[in-house]
A and B are shown apart, each in its own frame.
Chain A
């Protein structure tokens, strides 16, 4: 007989709080690495759940940082729904912990008062008490407890103070008494409430009725779903709105004013000031420099320069190691495994494919480190403050600057950084245009074609043509990103409420490197896993497409291969006659014939790829691409670059039978220059090269970007639109450039 084990119900605690109050720090301290990060169904709000280890275990839900529970954004909606138990399959949490910034009590208590209205047991974690004392603010904890009627625990999360007590309170068997609303709404609104809450009798638990009614009264989005669920309630709310409007009662603001009318006196009673409010804090002094009219933009530009320098220079050695590591791993596998299809797939498909992702990891780690540093210190908000004027002209906001600049390294961290934008429309537009910024995967392609086909002379004695060409590529991408943003804002996202901008400028804080490294690893993991999976799959598909069907060699080619083998065998025999062992002789001859071997292998590879699916697709696509000046080989290269741009170089190397090559390979450059059509005209002219370069600036050839855009927008619609408009732009621009150039006789 099995013993009956009592079913253990794990207590669920929700963390709520304003942005910039250290809520994530508290969450990390409580749960350590025992976190699960995902998305809430149907929205792009991150769902973070962690486990407080020990007995009894407690599940902690980290709700998005919000200023309010009244649902205007997806974040607020989720926070409200989680607390009210509105999400399917989830009940209200057993306890709500409100993380509050002690140095900013008044605004923070607004959210607390809303949480208290839910009637759930709650406690206040009064964080940053050290910063408050520094600013001359002393909070009387006992008095605050008394005023709120909920337990208050002082914390300094950045120094791990008070966390032990918080853990203890979360585990304690007896929960605090359910909180009760302590504020009053203006009488004219109050008198209508009982009648409205009665409608929800038996539909919502008692504690949730009043706040739901207040939400519906002022928020159409909240009211709408009752239209079908409970038409009588829907009608009653509309009638009440009409009554209040008839009385000219400012009921829209009544709730907010009622809460602050309660909060302000409470704060006055519990907070003692030892410094005048007008005294400048350290943070104010820093701001006087960092947002100074002249120094501010200059320092911001210098910081960006430093980040670029780091991402493009400091990351290079690490990238070289990874590249070398991937190559030698491939060699080891090839040496150890029996030669054949499976090994080819493993080395050329899987290892090379994963290497393509891994090689960007150093840049991405560095970029995330700097982004984390900017966020953690509070400088991110200042960069938005400085840049907002320029960005708002094209329909973006100041917050888009950092995501867009990050995209110069890689669109993936750029798209992920757009999470810092509070306005969903700004965020979506930023995501949609970020891949137009020239990422580092385009750089090898630019390098190869510019070095091979553009003149080497100088302009005005200092600038080289090639340098100007390189700069133009970056400029074109950036300008197109702004144009695309403008068009999207003007013609696609032109509905809805007029965009407004309300951004807190949090006090500067010393960066906490543990937190920054934590977040850096967290975000990079998301990149590696998401992008890795896609690239892994695509690499295998591309390898198969480039390998099958496996064409029979022509009699001539087969003959050549046989002759080479015979010649080598003869030489081996000759050496053996001088007394050398078979193995030694074979090794020596292989060395001597290495060049001929490679050359023949490359020609066979080129022969086969032309007859493979990729080759066939290149031929099939050629009629469409010819107006841009591209032949079937370039077309095949573009197809293989669909997974990742830089793949075009190895694809072209194979097609031109160059063996292994990178963007600096002189051999590949020469082969490209020498290639001609059947009539003898060269395949690549400078005009073709420019057309191809522009194509690569504008086209979206990156599976990982599509995958991350799908994750961040939670639909395939926006990645599809993104791919179509960018590829359309690329085709159009290349077409105009090639056809226009030819008409002007530059062919």
Chain B
């Protein structure tokens, strides 16, 4: 009986200590706004998946030590339903009702821009993956009193990505074709992101010596055959599908049936999903991922990342690799908070992010933000052998040093 009493006392003391430890951990509220439903769900799911994994790993490792306190990340995830009004309402809620310190998202240029007009005045950091933010991230916008001072673009500048992608695609496809490719057709959705991305990619292909035709399709197109037939009449050497992975996965089989071109490039389609869906083509097909691909990468840390990412229940989508545009930045943000020693000094955190670097899964060299709050890293381009779904040859292409002629950067 006495032993039982002693045991109970020990258990009680242990519980009390555990409770005390739990009380010592403060909460760091972080918001995530992403499309978990609606037409951008494939991209939106990657933000949520990356946030869940990063928060779990940071918390499991003991949290973030800021000054004499330890903070555990508490995620507030909001579905924007691919609707700008819901995005705004969610941003207001996270910023004003909950008081988050930073927000990750969204997947769409328009939504991210509208959101930045709420996060900026509230001095809440915003990490968005849209490279099209390059159109608005300039000296004035990111200045201390600028409306994008607290916004960071976690995707490389588009001329960099376009340059490395174009180079990688051409170097992989050229040996596969009877003669070096000279004529490319860029087939892209005619929306904000599509227009922005293709404007850079066309210049990048031209810089590589390609004659380029641009064909745009209305967003939400499902029957691509009229446009693809038109493209076939142009006799291209390569058709480049940009940028929406879901649309590409609808259009690509139609192109194969019509025999539109002797080779293809699929943007926004991971090798992993190509394999999952058992897609096959009798011609060489290339894919690219920023930063690294799911389903083919030879790097062990990338494989580990995707095992953990999917292990946590993330959906296998056409662009699961996009999750890496969000994952590393949690750790980088945590590192900046620890360095600053305060969670309520966003200006100091911004300054710290701009002068620090972070070596994550994304890149073999540490990530660095430039003066316009944009990062630089390489692109992985893979080619699947004809008539196979899982035999990939991949290469990492570094971004060019400068924008090609006619591209003003951004």
Mutual binders A and B: no
Interface of A toward B, CB cutoff 8 Å: none
Which residues of B does A touch, CB under 8 Å? none
